[in-house]
């Protein structure tokens, strides 16, 4: 009974805090960007550059991200994709964003970037923005068509990382997972050594140990997958998601695809016969 009362009071308290934020500052709003000419594009990319610097070697450049701002790629890709760019604003400022990409023919989607501006933390706006962005993504994917699974990957925490860096990376891994669970979705973390591939053929780009997650949208992700099922997922993530950065007629397209296919071949040799998803 005490636990129930505590949960109720916590829920009421959270509701009062949200009500206070709205009354004091105005609501956190979420809007979808559909064209690169949207006035929200520039401030969104400015926040992106602050949180995900290109010289990290695992992030796209702002110029490459600009390609995502159009709902449909302006140049033909090898796979059908709809970009889902959701931006949260607070007092006319960008408070956070989700860059996601839905592949209708594959019935799958991926989150490439999800972040909130921590400068809003004292006003508790960052938590509201994250919650609303996640809810908007679920609603959008449901409306777009049948989406079986939503993937996202985050950098694996190195044992030698500083405490500050560990907390930052744990936060990125935990925020989306927590809000997905609040929406009655069940995120799964695949238990194998997953590498984020080179995101482009840029000299700055390099492979990095990451963790791969998956959320069932219109289907349930099992707690154990066969090697063949995991390879199918990896083909989607590598060849379709990471592999569509270049248009078909771009001379870098074939080279990047060949590189990604080599990574798939390595997994075919090294993955165990079953992979756990916790």
Task: Give alpha helix (H) positions in 52-196.
Answer: 62-66, 125-144, 163-182
pLDDT (0 to 100) of residue 56: 78
Query: Is residue 146 pLDDT above 90, yes or no?
Result: no
Rounded average pLDDT over 123-143: 88
Rounded average pLDDT over 68-86: 95
Query: 151: Cβ–Cβ under 8 A, 6 or more apart, which residues?
Result: 108, 109, 110, 111, 212, 213, 214, 215, 233, 236, 237, 241
Share of the chain above pLDDT 90, in %: 65
Query: Is residue 207 pLDDT above 90, yes or no?
Result: yes
Return the CATH number at 261: 3.40.630.30
pLDDT (0 to 100) of residue 27: 87
Strand ranges in the chain using DSSP code E only, listed in sequence order:
29-33, 82-90, 93-103, 108-116, 149-155, 187-189, 194-196, 208-216, 224-226, 274-276
Rg (CA), the chain: 19
Of 31 and 23, the one with more pLDDT: 31
What is this structure's pTM? 0.84
pLDDT tens across 166-194, in order?
Answer: 455 555 556 677 878 877 888 999 999 99
Q: 214 is written with which tokens?
A: 């998956």
Query: Is residue 16 pLDDT above 80, yes or no?
Result: no
Q: What is the Cα–Cα distance from 190 to 181, expressed in whole angstroms?
A: 17
pLDDT (0 to 100) of residue 23: 43
Rounded average pLDDT over 24-42: 89
Query: 263: Cβ–Cβ under 8 A, 6 or more apart, which residues?
Result: 195, 197, 238
Q: How confident is the model at residue 160 (pLDDT cuts 50, 70, 90)?
A: low
Query: Is residue 214 pLDDT above 90, yes or no?
Result: yes
Can you list the pairs that 20-23 forms with residues at least 24 positions away whose Cβ atoms lie under 8 Å? 21/123, 21/124, 21/125, 21/128
* Mean pLDDT (the chain, rounded): 86
Query: 119: Cβ–Cβ under 8 A, 6 or more apart, which residues?
Result: none
What domain range includes position 62?
Answer: 2-276
Closest by Cα among 139, 141, 132, 133 to 113: 133
Query: 159: Cβ–Cβ under 8 A, 6 or more apart, which residues?
Result: none
pLDDT (0 to 100) of residue 48: 96
pLDDT (0 to 100) of residue 174: 67
What total number of domains does the chain contain? Answer: 1
Helix (H, G, I), strand (E, B) or coil at 56: helix
Q: What is the Cα–Cα distance from 224 to 230, expressed in whole angstroms?
A: 10
Rounded average pLDDT over 266-276: 98
Query: Is residue 274 pLDDT above 60, yes or no?
Result: yes
Beta strands 108-116 and 149-155 are parallel
Q: How confident is the model at residue 122 (pLDDT cuts 50, 70, 90)?
A: low
Q: What is the Cα–Cα distance from 19 to 216, expressed in whole angstroms?
A: 31
Share of the chain above pLDDT 70, in %: 82
Query: Is residue 95 pLDDT above 80, yes or no?
Result: yes
**Contact indicator for 254, 245 with CB cutoff of 8 Å:** no
């Amino acid at each position: 009974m005490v636990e129930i009362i505590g949960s109720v009071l916590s829920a009421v308290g959270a509701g009062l805090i949200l009500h206070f934020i709205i009354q004091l500052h105005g609501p956190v709003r979420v809007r979808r960007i559909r064209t690169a000419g949207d006035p929200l594009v520039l401030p969104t990319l400015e926040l992106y550059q602050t949180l995900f610097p290109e010289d990290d070697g695992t992030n796209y450049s702002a110029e490459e991200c600009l390609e995502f701002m159009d709902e449909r790629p302006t140049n033909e890709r090898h796979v059908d994709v709809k970009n889902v760019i959701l931006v949260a604003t607070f007092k006319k400022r960008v408070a956070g964003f989700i860059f996601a990409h839905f592949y209708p023919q594959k019935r799958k989607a991926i989150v490439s970037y999800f972040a909130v501006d921590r400068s809003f933390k004292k006003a508790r706006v960052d938590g509201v923005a994250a919650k609303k962005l996640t809810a908007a993504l679920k609603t959008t994917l449901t409306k777009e068509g049948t989406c079986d699974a939503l993937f996202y990957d985050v950098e694996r925490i190195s044992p030698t990382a500083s405490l500050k860096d560990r907390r930052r990376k744990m936060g990125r891994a935990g925020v989306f997972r927590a809000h997905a669970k609040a929406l009655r979705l069940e995120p799964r973390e695949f238990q194998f050594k997953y590498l984020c591939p080179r995101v482009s053929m840029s000299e700055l780009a390099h492979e990095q140990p990451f963790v791969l997650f998956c959320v069932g949208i219109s289907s349930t992700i099992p707690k154990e997958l066969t090697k063949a099922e995991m390879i199918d997922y990896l083909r989607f993530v590598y060849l379709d998601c990471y592999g569509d950065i270049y248009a078909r007629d771009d001379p870098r397209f074939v080279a990047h695809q060949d590189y990604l296919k080599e990574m798939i071949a390595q997994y075919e040799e090294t993955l165990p016969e079953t992979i756990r998803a916790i």
